[in-house]
Chain A
Amino acid sequence: MNLTIAGMTFQALLGRRRALLLLPMPVLLIGLTLIGHLTGAHVSTWGPIVLGQLGLGVILPLTALIVGSSVLGLEIEDGTITHILAKPLPRSEIVLAKLAVAWAVTTVATAVPLAAAGAIAGGAALAAGVGIGGAVGALAYSSAFLALSLLTRRPVGMGLLYIILWENLLVSFVSGARVLSVREYSTVLARGISGSDALPALDLAPMAAALLAAAFVIGGTVLATSRLRSFRLTGETS
Chain B
Amino acid sequence: MTVPTSNELVKPTATTDPGAGVTVELAAVSRWYGNVVAINDVTLTVGPGVTGLLGPNGAGKTTLLHMMAGFLDPSQGTVLVGGQPSWRNPDVYSTLGLVTERESMPGYLTAWQFVRASAKLHRLSDPDAAARRALAVVELGDAVDRRISTYSKGMRQRARVAAALVHDPSVLLLDEPFNGMDPRQRLHMMDLLHRMAGAGRTILFSSHILEEVEQLSGTVQVIVAGRLAASGDYRHIRRLMTNRPHTFLINSSADRQLAAVLMTQESVSGVELGANGLQVRANDFGMFTRAVAKVARAEGIRLTGVMPSDESLENVFSYLVGQS
Contact = CB atoms under 8 A, between A and B. Distances in A.
A17 interface: no
A86 B94 CA distance: 9
B100 interface: yes
A121 B273 CA distance: 94
B88 A230 contact: yes
B104 A79 contact: yes
Contacts of A80: 104-106
Contact of B101 (A15, A91, A238): A238
Contacts of B66: 232-233
Interface string A144-170: 000000000000000000000000000
Nearest to A7: B117
A11 B100 contact: no
Given A4-B120, A90-B90, A238 B62 contact: yes
Nearest to B60: A237
B62 A88 contact: no
B38 interface: yes
B176 interface: yes
A235 to B, nearest CB: 9
A238 B175 CA distance: 10
B72 A238 contact: no
Interface residues of A, number: 30
Contact of B71 (A2, A7, A84, A232): A232
B25 interface: no
B68 to A, nearest CB: 12
Nearest to B102: A79
Contact of B73 (A12, A91, A230): A230
A172 interface: no
A82 B108 CA distance: 17
Contacts of A11: 106, 108-109
A78 interface: yes
A87 B108 contact: no
Nearest to B31: A237
A86 B93 contact: yes
A64 to B, nearest CB: 23
A158 to B, nearest CB: 23
Contacts of A85: 71, 90
Contact of A8 (B93, B117, B163): B117
A133 to B, nearest CB: 34
B58 interface: yes
Contacts of B91: 88
Given A11-B109, A79-B100, A237-B58, A232 B73 contact: yes
A15 B117 CA distance: 17
Max chain A Cβ within 10 angstroms of own Cβ: one of B88, B101, B120: B120
Interface in B237-274: none
Contact of A82 (B38, B90, B98): B98
Nearest to B61: A238
Q: How large is the interface on B (under 10, 10 to 19, 20 to 34, 35 or more residues)?
A: 35 or more
Nearest to B90: A88
B39 to A, nearest CB: 10
A120 to B, nearest CB: 36
A233 B173 CA distance: 15
Nearest to B95: A88
A5 B72 contact: no
B114 to A, nearest CB: 8
B127 to A, nearest CB: 9
Interface in A187-238: 229-234, 236-238
B106 A83 contact: yes
B21 to A, nearest CB: 20
Contacts of B108: 11-12, 15
Contact of B121 (A4, A12, A229, A232): A4
B85 to A, nearest CB: 13
B122 interface: yes
Contact of A5 (B73, B121, B122): B121
Nearest to A229: B88
A78 B90 contact: no
B273 to A, nearest CB: 40
17 contacts: A5-B121, A11-B106, A11-B109, A12-B106, A85-B71, A85-B90, A86-B69, A87-B90, A87-B121, A88-B92, A91-B90, A232-B66, A233-B71, A233-B72, A237-B58, A237-B60, A237-B62
The 5 closest A-B pairs by CB, nearest first: A233-B71, A79-B104, A87-B121, A79-B102, A88-B94
Interface of A: 2, 4-5, 7-8, 11-12, 15, 78-80, 82-91, 229-234, 236-238
Given A11-B106, A87-B118, 9 more contacts: A8-B106, A8-B109, A80-B106, A86-B93, A229-B88, A231-B71, A232-B71, A233-B66, A237-B62
